[in-house]
Amino acid sequence: MDKQKSLMNYERNSPWTIGEIGFDSQHLGKSESIFSQGNGYLGLRATLEENYVNQKRDMFVAGTFNKFDNDEVTELPNVPDVVGIDIKINDIELNLNQGKISNYSLDLNLKTGELVRKFDWQYRNVYLRFVFRRFVSFANRHLLAQNISIENLSDIAADIYLESGINGQVTNSGSQHFSEGIKVQHPNNILQMISETTQSKIRFIQSTRLIFTEPTQIKRSLVAMGRRKIFQKISLYPLLKNQKLSFSKYSTVFTSIDKDAETTSQDQLIDQARFFLEKLVGDSFDKLFNESISAWNHNVWEKHEIQIDSIDSTDQLSLNFARYHLHSMVPSHDARMNIGAKGFSGEGYKGHTFWDTEIFMLPYFILAYPEIAKKLVTYRFLGLSGAEKKAKLNHYEGAQYPWESAWPDDGEATPVWGGIDIVTGKPTKIWSGFIEQHITSDVAYGVKQYIDATGDIDFAYSKGCEIIFETAKFWSSRLSYNPSEQLYEIKNVIGPDEYKEHVNNNAFTNYSAQWNIYLAIELYDDLKNNHSSVFEDLNNKLGIADYISDWREKVKKIYLPKPNDKGVIPQDDDYLNKKVIDLSKYKSEDQVGALFDDYNLKQVNNMQITKQADIILLFFLFDSLFTKKIQKINLDYYLPKTMHDSSLSLSTHAIIAADIGQTATAYDFFQKEKNIDMGSFMDSSNDGVHAASLGGIWNSVVQGFGGVRIIDGILRIEPNLPEAWKSLTFNIFWKNNRLDIQEFPDRTLITRQSSTDSTKIFVSSKLKEYELISGKKITIPKENIMEASK
Ligand code: IFM
């Protein structure tokens, strides 16, 4: 494949700005995704005001899933567009594919959430300067605002004509999720459109309004309605040389599933939305924008501060980029919703939630924003009924979490058919929804990490324990007995490595299932012995006493693949017997999945080719079960066979390499990981940014190089800073206490912020335990990692 010209620009001398220096209408997908904006309630792909053939206009509202028809799975519907504005100058439509563009820039400020596009455009005899500003409000989740200024740089007057409104002609790649809708024009030019999703019957109330800095510039304004469309047509008085036109567009979206809308009638909702916009008319774009900036600062940046002192400034930039997107996409307002694998930045994975949340994003929220983490784990509690439905359908017990989930109790939402099989020419079956089952223990793992870090006993007793017991029931019913080996096995699964389908005893799956059952047993004993009323309640609801002897009997006999004589842990029963091929040709490609130009999945299944961290991920979750020596042997064995064809792979590799003291290798993984979305390959993020890899960036920094981990309920801090870093400074929350941590190559300083909380808190490092006393700083000297953890 030809190398593409990168348009990315990180040279703004700011760790808070990413930008693009050129316009290329052939490569809009990447910038639409990586410059997308959101506030957890709604998210907006960064499509431009004017139209281009290759653009993909998308706006989503969290949780509003709809099923287009019976043959499709439910997905987040693409909401009627409010961002597009047609602009004509002297009857010529603004379009950057024609004429001459100069001084082009598109910048996203990651701290304030503002997207700014500037350029001068010369076409025939008009020459104009454009500035487009846009933000999705972090202060008011229903609001998004645009501000546009046009300055006439030509010698002749410019007649400007605008069309702006709400356009419901957008689809999800052809699937139209909305009814035609009701359109309303109010006297003060507030336009409204009320549309309803076809199957889930969720009503969307969208309103929009244009506000001109100099209303006297308007010559004529009319409102028109078309099919699925209401819009304002505005002609302006000629813009003379050096004159400027400036206007803002405020748009809002409310839905009938908004928490505060549950008891509100449709008419009331429509009125509320209109009043809301009416009230904003006196507020300038800058005032609303400043409120949003304050909310970002207060809710996000000031709560968790993290600073890398590196020779490479893009290390910090990538961290800011990751955090900006994670907060744009996390529905922190409502536990009925979770994070989609692409957030709101594109249609990829249909807004569905995967294990990506628990293993790749939840650690960030647990340690930095525990109140948001609580929402994410509560979502899994609300998903229990869907998980129980799935287990029952498959003749298992307890809760089998869906591989992909949407509305919490929907159950499985994974599509059945995917891309083309290069050999048969038919669609490939997606088996994950049927047999990629480790998500069930991943969910339990996330719950346990949350409880360990926060000590949130209320959550544990009212929700968390139920998840742990129900998932243990699933695993125990999922095991099959092998009488000749006298062991329990887990057959016919897909592990994290999705290039191996229908395998037996995937190591990650077996270890995590066993861990899940052990956890349930431990919890059972603790509740029974120490918290009898909680135990009674749970037993009455779940009948756990009927299961405990089964768990105790089976758990010890679960087959766990052990290192062979060379120290290699078999990924599954057959992996090590499969053919090894040279993968260098495919590894050198920018594009993921290059392998499938030559092979189909069946063929890849029969070779030692790993899509993403699998055995390596086992070390991340269950570090204490494996020596560093074994971890190193397995990294060396599996790495040449790993394609990193999933964006989830590199961060795990960075963490494990850092853990075993290979910081240069870890840093190299980290550099590659930074480029998954931010890098120069212009097609990398067309379907949306990679949420798990964004979580992975923070994980690599804090859990990998920073060495912060929750292991067996204990906070462990064993840093391994790369050579490029002078220091890493950040804070985390542990059992409701803020810990300020400064890591240097030779020492780590930890301060427990002063508080009246008298809970005893400890941190472990290199097998030593340190007590953290309120208001006091401790120093932990660096020791040789291999020495300490042999
Ligand atoms: O969950 C992942 C999976 O592990 C690899 N393919 C993409 C999914 C969503 O990110």
Q: Tens digit of pLDDT for each residue in 393-430?
A: 999 999 999 999 999 999 999 999 998 888 899 999 99
pLDDT digits (tens, 9 = 90+) for 159-189: 999 999 999 999 999 999 999 989 999 988 8
Cβ neighbour number for residue 11 with a 10 Å cutoff: 10
Our answer to whether residue 163 is catalytic in this structure is: no
| Shared domain check, 401 and 289 | no
Cβ neighbour number for residue 96 with a 10 Å cutoff: 18
CA of 691 to the centre of ligand 1 (A): 10
Close Cβ partners of 214 (under 8 Å, ≥ 6 residues apart): 245, 246
CA of 597 to the centre of ligand 1 (A): 20
Where a domain ends, among 262, 286, 301? 301
Ligand 1 atom closest to 432 (CA) = 3
| Shared domain check, 130 and 255 | yes
CA of 104 to the centre of ligand 1 (A): 36
Residues with CB under 6 A from ligand 1: 341, 349, 354-356, 498, 646, 648, 692
Pocket test for ligand 1, best of 648, 650, 689 (most atoms within 8 A of CB): 648
Where a domain ends, among 560, 581, 605? 560
Contacts 24+ apart (CB under 8 A), 735-743: 735/453, 735/454, 735/455, 735/759, 735/761, 736/370, 736/454, 736/455, 737/761, 737/772, 737/774, 739/763, 739/772, 741/706, 741/708, 741/717, 743/706, 743/707, 743/719
What is residue 11's predicted lDDT score, i.e. its pLDDT? Answer: 61
450 part of a folded domain: yes
| Shared domain check, 260 and 401 | no
Cα Rg of the chain (Å, integer): 27
Ligand 1 atom closest to 356 (CA) = 1
CA-nearest residue for atom 9, ligand 1, is 341
773 part of a folded domain: no
User: Residue with structure tokens 């993020």?
Assistant: 685
Cβ neighbour number for residue 69 with a 10 Å cutoff: 8
CA of 437 to the centre of ligand 1 (A): 13
354 part of a folded domain: no
Ligand 1 atom closest to 354 (CA) = 1
Residue 611 counted as an annotated binding residue: yes
| Shared domain check, 403 and 290 | no
CA-nearest residue for atom 4, ligand 1, is 496
Buried b (16+ CB within 10 A) or exposed e, 286-312: eebbeebbebbeebbbeebebebebeb
| Shared domain check, 293 and 410 | no
Of 741, 720, 750, give the one whose Cα is nearest residue 307: 741
Question: Residue 498: which CATH number?
Answer: 1.50.10.10
CA-nearest residue for atom 5, ligand 1, is 646
Close Cβ partners of 190 (under 8 Å, ≥ 6 residues apart): 207, 208, 209, 274, 277, 278
| Shared domain check, 283 and 392 | no
Cα–Cα distance list, 758 to 736, 750, 752 (Å): 11, 17, 12
CA of 690 to the centre of ligand 1 (A): 9
Which three-class secondary structure state does DSSP give residue 551?
A: helix
Cα atoms found within 13 Å of the Cα of residue 23, Cβ hemisphere only: 23
CA-nearest residue for atom 10, ligand 1, is 341
Ligand 1 atom closest to 690 (CA) = 10
CA-nearest residue for atom 7, ligand 1, is 646
pLDDT digits (tens, 9 = 90+) for 212-271: 999 999 999 999 999 999 999 999 999 999 999 999 999 999 999 999 887 788 889 899
55 part of a folded domain: yes
pTM of the model: 0.97
Pairwise CA distance, residues 146 & 49, whole Å: 10
| Shared domain check, 89 and 198 | yes
| Shared domain check, 396 and 297 | no
Q: Where are the beta strands (DSSP E) in 227-278?
A: 229-236, 244-255
Counting residues of the chain whose pLDDT is more than 90, the rounded percentage is: 92
192 part of a folded domain: yes
* CB-neighbour burial class of residue 148 (10 A; exposed 0-12, middle 13-18, buried 19+): buried
Pocket test for ligand 1, best of 342, 356, 404, 693 (most atoms within 8 A of CB): 356
pLDDT digits (tens, 9 = 90+) for 106-154: 999 999 999 999 999 999 999 999 999 999 999 999 999 999 999 999 9
Structure tokens at 480: 């099959």
412 part of a folded domain: yes
Which three-class secondary structure state does DSSP give residue 738?
A: strand
Pairwise CA distance, residues 201 & 216, whole Å: 42
Residue 355 counted as an annotated binding residue: yes
User: Domain range holding 471?
Assistant: 383-560
pLDDT digits (tens, 9 = 90+) for 759-769: 999 999 999 99
Of 22, 24, 18, give the one whose Cα is nearest residue 36: 18
Question: Residue 159: which CATH number?
Answer: 2.70.98.40
Where a domain ends, among 560, 576, 608? 560
Q: Where are the alpha helices (DSSP H) in 232-332?
A: 266-280, 285-296, 313-329
Which three-class secondary structure state does DSSP give residue 223?
A: strand
| Shared domain check, 401 and 254 | no
419 part of a folded domain: yes
Pocket test for ligand 1, best of 443, 498, 500 (most atoms within 8 A of CB): 498
Of 498, 501, 673, 718, which residue is the catalytic one?
498
Cα–Cα distance list, 306 to 303, 323, 446, 698, 748 (Å): 10, 10, 23, 10, 15
User: What are residue 133's phi and psi, to 5 degrees?
Assistant: -120, 150
Cβ neighbour number for residue 587 with a 10 Å cutoff: 14
Of 774, 733, 741, give the one whose Cα is nearest residue 757: 774
CA-nearest residue for atom 6, ligand 1, is 646
| Shared domain check, 109 and 222 | yes
Buried b (16+ CB within 10 A) or exposed e, 184-209: beeeeebbbbbbbbbbbebbbbbbbb
Pairwise CA distance, residues 458 & 449, whole Å: 15
| Shared domain check, 395 and 295 | no
CA of 354 to the centre of ligand 1 (A): 7
719 part of a folded domain: no
pLDDT band at 1 (very low <50, low <70, confident <90, very high): very low
pLDDT digits (tens, 9 = 90+) for 462-512: 999 999 999 999 999 999 999 999 999 999 999 999 999 999 999 999 999
Number of domains in the chain: 2
Residue 623 counted as an annotated binding residue: no
| Shared domain check, 289 and 387 | no
CA of 40 to the centre of ligand 1 (A): 21
